[in-house]
Structure 1
C-alpha cells in the first residue's frame, strides 16, 4: 500500500499527528500484513513536507511527553494525491496496489476512474485468457507427467486468483458508477 497516498488521503479529511495516522492504519486493518515502523512513517512525513504536499500546523508538548506535530495537507498535496491515485491505476499490476486508491476514490474524477477501472478489468480478462491459452497448449499425452500435474495446481491457483480479482474490480466499478456525480 502506498503510504504516501494513505497519509495524503487521511490529511484531506482533517489535521492529524503522524502517530494518529499510524494507529488509524493499524486499527482499521487496512493492510494488516503491512508493518509501518516509526522511522518509515516519519520519513514519509518529512518527504511530503519537503515536497510542500503537507505542512506543520502546530507543535504541542505535554508534560513528560515528546513533542507532537499536527500536520495538514496543502493545495499542492491535494493535487499530488489525485495524480498519485491516477498513476496507481495507470500502472496497475496487482489489485492490492489499488487499495489506497479505492479508499480515497472520492477525491478524483468519477468518470476518469471508471475508465481506468474498465482498463484494469480488461487487463485481468487478458490475463485469464492468457492462462487458458497456455493450459490449452499443453499436449494431452503429457498430462500425467509430475511437472504438468504440479503446474496444473499452480495454474488453478493463478486462475482462481485472477477470477477473484476480476469480481472485486467489477464490484468496485459498480460501486463507483453508483456514486452520484
Structure 2
C-alpha cells in the first residue's frame, strides 16, 4: 500500500505523469521497486477512481504524455490510509512513505494511533517473553536454535519499538515545523 500512498500523496501536491512520479520516489526514499510493480499500482489507483487523467501533452515525435491528478475520493482515501499505517505498523521500514506524507494528516491524530500501536506492540512482546516454550520434546541442538531465534526476535522487536517511540516524538514535533 505504501507505493500507492506515495502516488496519491505526490498527486495531491501537483499533477504528474507516471514516469515523473517513479523518478521522484526513487530520488527521495531509499527503496527498490520494479517498474512493473509501480505501474501496476498506478493503474489500480486509476481503476478505483482515486486518480484520473487531467490532460494529455503532445510532444513532437514522441507518444503523448498523460498527466494525472488525484480525485476527491483519492484525497479521502490517502488520509485514511496514512492513519491506518500508524495503526498497523510493526516495522519502521513499513512507514517510510507514510512519514514522508505526514503533511496530509493531523499529526495529533497520527500520534494517537501510533501511541496505541506502540502499547499493543509492547504488550504483544511482553506476552511472548512470558510464554513458556515447550522445550521438553526438543533435543539440545533444537533448544539452542530456539534460544538463538528468540534472542533475535526479541532484539528486533525492541529495536522497532525504540524507533516507533522516536517516530512518535518526531510526529509530535511535526506540527511545530509547519
TM-score by length of 1: 0.82
Q: Secondary structure at the match of 1:59?
A: strand
2:48 aligned partner? 51
1:36 aligns with 2:38: no
Report Cα offsets for 1:73-131 as digits up to 9, x if no partner.
22221111001112233333444333322211221122211111101211221233133
Matching residue within 83, 88, 91 for 1:86: 83
Q: 1:140 to 1:75 in 2, by over 3 A?
A: closer
Matching residue within 99, 121, 128 for 1:131: 128
1:4 aligned partner? 4
Matching residue within 135, 146, 151 for 1:156: 151
Matching residue within 168, 173, 178 for 1:178: 173
TM-score by length of 2: 0.84
Aligned counterparts of 1:40 and 1:140: Cα–Cα separation in 2:
43
Q: 1:138 to 1:44 in 2, by over 3 A?
A: closer
5+ residue gaps, structure 1: none
Aligned counterparts of 1:42 and 1:141: Cα–Cα separation in 2:
51
Number of aligned positions between the proteins: 176
Query: How far apart are 1:4 and its partner, in Å?
Result: 1.2
Query: How far apart are 1:159 and its partner, in Å?
Result: 1.1
1:27 aligned partner? 27
Aligned counterparts of 1:141 and 1:41: Cα–Cα separation in 2:
49
5+ residue gaps, structure 2: none
Structure 1 segments of 4+ aligned residues over 6 angstroms from their partners: 139-144
1:100 aligned partner? 97
Q: 1:75 to 1:147 in 2, by over 3 A?
A: same
Aligned counterparts of 2:46 and 2:134: Cα–Cα separation in 1:
58
Q: 1:63 to 1:150 in 2, by over 3 A?
A: same
Query: How far apart are 1:139 and its partner, in Å?
Result: 8.3
Q: Secondary structure at the match of 1:90?
A: helix
